[in-house]
Structure 1
Amino acid sequence: MRRLLAALVVAGLCVLASPAYAVNQYVTKGNVTKPAACNNFGIMPAGGWLANKSCGYVMGTAVAGTRFDVHTTTPNNFHFGRWRAGDGSNFCAFLVPGALNTSSSTPVAASCSDDTSARLSHRRSFGRDFDAAPHTGNGAIIVRINPSACTGYYNYFVDSDYASGRLHDPVGFALPTTGGYRYSTNDRGASMIRVDALGETIWLFVARSCIAAQLPATLNNDND
C-alpha cells in the first residue's frame, strides 16, 4: 500500500510539473501576400506584419524563419499569439493571414492572455505621437530621411509591456530619402514609418532621432 501511495504521489508531481501544452507554434515565412481584407495589396518580402489587432497598426514584422505561437484565430484569419524573434525578444500581437508554415507545428504552453489582447487593441498601449486621430492617417506626415545616417529595422518591441525596446532585425537595404511617419514608441526610442522599397510599401522602424526635427510640435495622442 505504501509503495502504491508513493507511486501515486510521484505521478501527481510529474503531472503538476508538466507544462500545459495548449497552443501550437509554427515557423514564419517570407513573401507573404498583404491582406486584401484590410485594403492592402502586394507582398511583404521579409515576413508577415505584426499588428495590434486585425487590420490595425503595424507593430513589427514576423521575420521569416522565426516562430509564432497561435492562441486564437479571427474570422478573417488573423492569428493572435506570441511572436518569438531569433534574439530572444518576444511579444503578443496579431499576425496577418498566410504568414505561417502550417505543414508542421510544435505544442507549447499558452502565454498571451485575453486581457493582453484587449489592452493591445487600444493604440496608446504600444505607441504615442500618432500622425492623426484614431482610425485615420496611415503615414500621413512625410519626413525626409538621410540614408547614410539612418538604418531601418523591422522590429523594436521586446516584450508585451510595449513600454520600451530596442531596434532589431535590420532591413538590409538602404532607405529611400522620404517616408511616411505613423507613430513613435512609448519611450520615443523609435518611430514607425512607411517607405517605398523593393517594389513594395514596407513598414519599418527608425531611431526617432533620425526624423525628430521634422515632426510637428503637436502630434495626436488620443486613444481609441
Structure 2
Amino acid sequence: MVLLMRRLIAAVCGVVLGVVAFAQPAHAVNQYTTIGNVQKPAACNNHGVMPAGGWLANKSCGYVMGTAIAGTRFDVHTTTSNNFHFGRWRAGDGSNFCAFLVPGALDTSHSTSVAASCSDDTSERLSHRRTFGRDFDAAPHTGNGAIIVSINPSACTGYYNYFTDSTYAGGSLHDPVGFTLPASGGYRYSTNDLGAAMIRVDALGETIWLFVARSCIASQLPGNLNNEND
C-alpha cells in the first residue's frame, strides 16, 4: 500500500510539473516604435536617407522587402554584427511578418516586452530569395533594379509594402507612398503570387524602393527573368 501511494504521488507531481512547464510564457523580446528619415546602411554601400522609415530586407544587406513605416512597431529578436535587427514588423493595418530591419530605424528610448514570434527556421528560410520572390532582374548576388521600365504615373500608384504574413506567398498593396511616380524605374523582382513588383525610383531627392502592381509594368518585362535560388 505504501509503495502504491508513493507511485501515485509521483505520478501526480509529474503531471503538475508538466502543466507548469507547459504554461510557462514564451521567450520575451523587446518591441520598439519605428522612426522615419533613417540613414541608409553604409555597411551595404548605400548612401542617403529613407524618409518614410527603414527598409525591411530578407537578410543583412539583402533584398528590400518593404519599409517599416514610421510610427509602427518592430519586435527585435536578434541583432547582427552590423546592427541589422531580425524580428517581426507590425504594420498599422494589422499586417505583420518577420524580416530584417536596417540599423538606426528604431526609437530605442522606450520598449515593451512581448512574446517572441519569429524563429531561427524562418530567418534561414527567408535568406533564400525564392522564399519571397520570383522573376528577378539578375542572378543571385547581382543586379540592383537593372531592368529599366516605363511607368504611367496616372495609372500606377507606388506602395511601400505588400507582404502581410510570414508565408510571403501573397499579400496586398498597402502604405501608399504619397507622391506621383516618375516616368521610369528599375525593376528588381515580383512577388510569388505575381501581384506586385519591386522597383526603384528616383523621388524626393532619394532612390526609393517601392511596390507597384505588376500589371503596371508586366508587358515590358523580358521573358528570361531569373528564377535561380541562392
Shorter-chain TM-score range: over 0.9
> In 2, distance between residues paired with 1:14 and 1:100?
36
1:60 aligns with 2:62: no
Match of 1:149 among 136, 155, 168: 155
* Deviation of 1:14 (Å): 8.6
Residue in structure 1 matching 2:50, options 41, 44, 48: 44
1:84 aligned onto 2:111: no
For 1:181 and 1:91, how far apart are their aligned partners in 2? 23
Structure 1 position 19, deviation (Å): 3.6
- Aligned pairs for 1:178-197 (under 5 A) are 178-197=184-203
Structure 1 CA distance for aligned equivalents of residues 26 and 138 of structure 2: 42
- Structure 1 residue 223, shift from structure 2 partner: 0.4
Instruction: Name the amino acid aligned to 1:46.
Output: A
Asked if residue 107 in structure 1 is aligned to residue 128 in structure 2, the reply is no
- CA deviation after TM superposition for structure 1 residue 17, in Å: 5.0
In structure 2, the residue corresponding to 1:41 is in which secondary structure? coil
- 1:15-61 per-residue CA deviation (whole Å, 9 max, x = no partner) reads 86564351000000000000000000000000000000000000000
- Match of 1:124, SS state, is helix
TM-score of the superposed pair, with normalisation by structure 2: 0.90
User: Aligned-pair distance for 1:84?
Assistant: 0.2
**Is 1:69–2:66 an aligned residue pair?**
no
Which 5+ residue runs of structure 2 have no aligned equivalent?
A: 1-14
The yes-or-no answer on 1:119 pairing with 2:125 is yes
1:160 correspondence with 2:162: no
Mapped partners of 2:166, 2:21: distance in 1: 29
Q: CA RMSD in A?
A: 1.7
Shift of 1:218: 1.4
Distance 1:167 1:108 in 2: 27
Q: How many equivalent pairs are there?
A: 216
In the alignment, the residues of structure 1 paired with residue 194 and residue 52 of structure 2 have an alpha-carbon distance, to the nearest angstrom, of 25
Q: Which of 97, 100, 107 in structure 2 is aligned with 1:94?
A: 100
Structure 2: which amino acid aligns with 1:113?
S
- SS class of match (2:47): coil
**Shift in Å at residue 74 of structure 1?**
0.2
TM-score normalised to the size of structure 1? 0.93
* Distance (Å, rounded) in 2 between the aligned partners of 1:180 and 1:25: 34
Aligned with residue 139 of structure 2, among 125, 129, 133? 133
1:177 maps onto 2:183 in alignment: yes
Residues 209-224 of structure 1 mapped to structure 2, 5 A cutoff: 209-224=215-230
* Cα separation, 1, equivalents of 2:85 and 2:140: 23
Tell me the CA shift for residue 217 of structure 1: 1.2
Q: Residues of 1 paired with 2:121 and 2:95: CA distance?
A: 20
User: Residue in 1 aligned with 2:4?
Assistant: none
